[in-house]
Copies of this chain bind each other. A is one copy, B any other.
Amino acid sequence: MPLTLPQFQRSIEDTYGAKDRQRGVAGTFMWFMEEVGELSAALRSGTPDDRAAEFADVLAWLATLANVVGVDLEKAVQAKYGGGCPGCRRTPCICDRAEKP
C-alpha cells in the first residue's frame, strides 16, 4: 500500500514529536534549512541516491515543522491544490509562465 501523507506525518510525530516540541519552531526551522542546503548541494552534484536521501530529509523536517505548529499537511495540500492549480484552476496549469506558480 502506498504511504499516505497522514501516515507519513504521524510516523514522523511518533519518532520525533517529543524532541521536536522541546526544540520549538525556530530551532526546528534551522534544522529544516540545513537539510534544504544539503538538498541544494545534492541537486548540484549528488548521485541519484544522494538526491533521494536529501529529498527524504527535507520532507521529514517539513513534516516535523508541521507537527510542531499543528498543521495537517494533507488537509493543507487538499485545500490549496485539490482542485488543480490554485491560480487558474486547471490541470495542466495555464497560468502565464512568469506568474506563480
Chain A residues in the interface with B (C-beta under 8 A) = 2-8, 11-12, 14-19, 22-23, 25, 29, 31, 33, 36, 39-40, 43, 48, 51-53, 55-62, 64-66, 69-81, 84-85, 90-93, 97, 100-101
Contact = CB atoms under 8 A, between A and B. Distances in A.
Chain B CB count within 10 A is highest, among A7, A70, A72, A76, for A76
Given A5-B8, A69-B51, A101-B16, A81 B56 contact: yes
Contacts of A2: 4-7, 74
A16 B85 contact: yes
What number of copies of this chain does the assembly contain?
Answer: 2
A60 B81 CA distance: 8
